[in-house]
Structure 1
């Protein structure tokens, strides 16, 4: 993980000061997305301070699209990012609009490393149950931030797995935020092929929806498997391949596999038209 310390040169209000807290006041971590397709800590600081009139930028850390982490505040700073909850939560912002974009592989890799970094520096354990999406706080269920499947994300953090999770997602209602038709139109404008509410990636042959709890397996170079974690109903993963080892397994990327089990997973393939459109990109 690459970290740049911006605490002494990031824009702050000329006279407004943020309240202070003790480390013992901190109860958890809130994950945000920037709701912008690009950006940086400097851009967010200008908006928060110059437009919103806040004392400082709202996030303690910003994870850029290339995985670079910008450290923007001290843990003692009560930064303005979740209203009445500010005193008790550290804010991490991923750059991106995850209603129609996905976090990059570099961002997925940086997040668990950053959480480990914060745990070490603060001495706080931060169990995964204390890592929340902005949209999961009672006062912000309307916010759709970070618009990710936080249950899957927490499961992956717990297991040390950096697989992508579903975006354009309302965690409480378990539904897409923007309709698949609108997402598909947005995708065509960005030279992407959309399959319902998610981008169809090159090399992808299908998708799996988890129907009942089932193991996610990690294979080594000798095809031996070790359990990574238990996947939960509703989780959705891209499929990049299939083979007959271990009773038949689907490859979901990065060396991870899901066993073909009737009643436990639902496997679907995209239409021929979508596959042809993908080849033309």
Structure 2
């Protein structure tokens, strides 16, 4: 009976994707406004390389990890790792609360901030501390790399090519990334109620779901529910 119900529900998901799967931009934007508002509370806090608190001062990634932690979103410590871990967002789809990345003192992502709307972002400047700058400024415009999203919708997803199922988070659980030596490294924490596309499964590390981009969730039945798509794209 349970198997029949699962197949029935998943058939509905595939048959009516516009109902259960959609663009997650609106949900991300709603939550992103809260994050941006909280981030602005630290305007004027001084810059400190390696700093992670208002009392000690912030560097760019330390500021981001501190702000997002307020909302139970764990970010990697460095801008480079944050750039690799977040969901890629096209320039036309950037919303408030997304992270924007730049290459500054070294190649690759070496600086980041929170997009706050009107083509502006808040960040920890090495010269002025926490401040708001414009993406249109020549310095930032010529060094811009792209945007990443760490805010996810709890219900909205679009079915993508290669997807085999959907993972629903019942309890907070770690997201891992496979390292070059085939080990798992913690990236951030997925929160209760969120849903993620699944692109594969293997039995390593006790079983793990492939969320794409080398990111994995281990198979802990009490924390996740996996639903296989009846028609894979």
Instruction: Give the TM-score category using the shorter length.
Output: 0.3 to 0.5
> As a proportion of its length, which structure holds more strand?
2
Which of the pair has more CA radius of gyration? 1
TM-score, normalised with respect to structure 2: 0.41
TM-score, normalised with respect to structure 1: 0.35
> Which structure has the higher relative contact order (CA within 8 Å, separation 6+)?
2
